[in-house]
Structure 1
Amino acid sequence: MKKRFLICFMAATFLLSGCGSLAGRHNIDSGFAYIESHDYDSAMESFTAAEEKGEDACLIHRGKGIVYVATGDYQAAADELMASLHADEGIVDDMDFDTNYYLAEAYYKLGEYNKAKEVYDAILGLRSKDGNAFYLRGVCELASGNHDGAYSDFTKAISLNAKDYSMIIMIYKSLNEYGYNDEAVNILQTAMDNGSAFMTNYEKGQISFYLGNNAEAQSYLEAARSERDQEKEPVILMLGQTGEKQGDYNYAISVYKTYLSENPASALIYNQLGMCQIKQGDYSAAIQSFQSGIDVGDQAYIKALRLNQITAYEYKGEFDTAKSLMDAYLQDYPSDEEAERENIFLSTR
């Protein structure tokens, strides 16, 4: 049964379900907890320990595959995710779909668009109203040069999820990236025209931002950040970007600093603040902002914050400090080829 499934079905929401019993998987559970906190080194250590203890092979391969996707080793990810599917002898469940979404992402990142499309074809063969699969298959179609196929998939995805404005914005970005700006704008404008009566202020602000209506975007986003039930960080990020878009970095910096004064544990906003300060030429302030973000300890942003801090030291002319920090960075992220090239540059200063 499962082998036939693999042949015809070659998936992201569930980290643990299915794939064997719940007993005897302490290290696996730890590994997935580390994934949730973006601590991928510890996650991999846990999955290695799980192998040594003879825990569930399906979940171990799945966990390793997710780690490899997150850290950019896409061939290893594809190998591990395929191994997970082969090791799963249970019935087809949500976790199988989820694993295959990761597999398709790995293929896409490898540039193997046809393999990725085959995954989405199979998903849609079993879940014909999976709007996410239509959207992602459309992205693959665009990447492989099939505009008409992509547009058809995007249209279907929107028809299934007409109020999923995050997805609609991603479709806009994909079309815009490949030069189909008129179509991209039309999709956003149609969403605004059809949905403005029931959109949130944040959703209206997002779409106005990408439509280039900056004043409207600021108005909606300012309203959204005062709403009690609205998640504030994404609102603040986009509100600040309305200022950045116009070159008004003082406004953006004010927005970010005001938020951080009340929410000092936001590594993302510290990073954005530091980038604005770099653009203003205030490299010392940027260095401090990046350090404050690093001190938050959010593993999802540590890598970017460290690289940006190195860049700020470089702009400031403190090349010895930049080189020292880069050496430490490459010890932690030895496969970062772009950083390695930058390190070679610093070595010549």
Structure 2
Amino acid sequence: MKKRIVASFLLLSTLLSGCGSLAGRHNIDSGFSYIESHEYQSALESFEAAEEGGEDQCLIHRGKGIVHLKRGEYDLAATELLASLAADEGIVDDMDFDSNYYLAEAYLNLKEYDKAKEVYDAIIALRDKDSNAYYLRGTAELAAGNHDQGYADFSRAIALNSRDYSMMIMIYKSLDEYGYSDEALSILQTAMDNGSDFMSNYEKGQISFYLGNNAEAQSYLEAARNEKGQEKEPVVILLGQTGEKQGDYNYAISVYRNYLAEDPNSAKVYNQLGICQIRQGDYESAVSSFQSGISLDNKDLDQALRLNEITAYEYMGEFKVAASLMEEYLATYPDDQEAVRESIFLSSR
């Protein structure tokens, strides 16, 4: 028993120990700025410069780990994040918990579910009311084939935050993905039954959408769209998707266009509009929508918009244009291996 307690303590001290000094971190700050703008190669170069300049090792390895995670290089991400945690010298703070969440994400993507679970165990040992940690540990358990333990963690997460409907939807998606559709729907139905007095119209619309009650979802979302103080973009996206779900692309396109007429600064809505136009076979309009989205310079949506624009040109039979755009795309996103393969295909057309 004594040995087990010591082992547990060592896990916590390795995974959850505070970062050191924040002084002298010019290149580190540049690196994290590049991460925010999705310029990952520049971020790595900044962190290399920080290392040469003797800046904080904990933060350098953390930054590199996040870059590798974003680029899908999960082995490298785990190695760097572990090095960051090993270099910690200060007290445990939010940044350390954040690094552990990144580490667990790397393990999940590597399908090393036991290692991911160990990280979540360590977080929960210090934050036993962290509903997000229980939810994520539940996903690791479920992925590993441990349904009962996963479901127990999901139940605990809901008990800790019974009005976090976004989390319940994520739990629904996890259970549904692994074939537990009845349990997934039951969680959402219980949320609707118990929380209808507390939910906003948008939350009711979300739950109704995933329950498959499309007419109810549209009714709640239409109401939410007209409410003051309600963020409109997510409401419009989901409202449009109620049409897409039924193959009613005219309705979805109308919803998206009406929104853009009032607020033409949503790259996400332009992207969704373009996808609907592709499905209708209106490729020229789709290209225009994607280009409008790209012009907004939204770093989070830029990659998807560019790929979708290339797809639209391919459907049009404009392979030379698509190939040229793919070349530009790969100059910005060189780590997209699927795009590399598509580029080879386009070059042969």
* CA root-mean-square deviation: 1.9
2:166 is aligned to: 166
The answer to whether the 8 A contact 2:11-2:122 is kept is no
The code of the aligned residue for 2:19 comes to: C
Q: Residue 332 of structure 1 corresponds to which residue in structure 2?
A: 332
Aligned to 1:304: 304
Distance in 2 (CA, whole Å) between partners of 1:72 and 1:83 is: 18
- With over 3 angstroms needed to count, the CA separation of the structure-2 counterparts of 1:209 and 1:4, relative to structure 1, is closer
Aligned counterparts, 1:1-349, within 5 A: 7-8=11-12, 19-349=19-349
Counterpart secondary structure, 2:184: helix
Secondary structure of the corresponding residue to residue 169 of structure 1: helix
* Cα pair 1:243 1:251 within 8 Å, conserved: yes
Q: TM-score, normalization: structure 1? A: 0.93
**Amino acid across the alignment from 1:250:** N
Structure 1, unpaired ranges of 5+? 12-16
Structure 1 stretches of at least 4 aligned residues deviating more than 4 Å after TM superposition: 3-6
> By how many angstroms is 1:240 displaced?
0.7
Q: Which runs of 5+ in 2 are unaligned?
A: 1-6
Q: Distance in 2 between matches of 1:90 and 1:101?
A: 18
- Kindly tell me: are residues 47 and 261 of structure 1, through their superposed partners in 2, closer, same or farther at Cα, counting changes over 3 Å? farther
CA distance 1:41–1:297, change in 2 (3 Å): farther
Asked if the contact 1:9–1:119 (Cα under 8 Å) also holds between the matched residues in 2, the reply is no
**SS of residue matched to 2:255:** helix
SS state at 2:330 partner: helix
Quote how far apart the aligned CAs of 1:229 are: 1.3
Contact (CA 8 Å) 2:18, 2:89: kept in 1 or not? no
Percent pairwise identity: 73
1:88 and 1:5, CA in 2 relative to 1: closer, same or farther beyond 3 A?
farther
Find the counterpart in structure 2 of residue 14 from structure 1.
none
1:225 partner letter: R
Q: TM-score, normalised by structure 2?
A: 0.93
How many pairs are equivalent? 342
Amino acid in the other structure paired with 1:74: Y
Q: Which amino acid aligns with 1:77?
A: A
The answer (yes or no) to whether the contact 1:142–1:178 under 8 Å persists in 2 is yes
Corresponding residue number in structure 1 for 2:4: none
Deviations 1:217-238 (CA, angstroms, capped at 9, x unpaired): 1111111122221111111110
Secondary structure of the corresponding residue to residue 198 of structure 1: coil
Q: What letter corresponds to residue 106 of structure 2 in structure 1?
A: A
Residues 106-141 of structure 1 show CA distances to partners (whole Å, capped at 9, x for unaligned) of 010111111101111111112111111111011111
CA distance in 1, matches of 2:42, 2:260: 29
Distance 1:257 1:48 in 2: 45
1:252 is matched by which residue type in structure 2? Answer: A
1:52 is displaced (CA, Å) by: 2.7
Larger CA deviation: 182-191 vs 47-56: 47-56
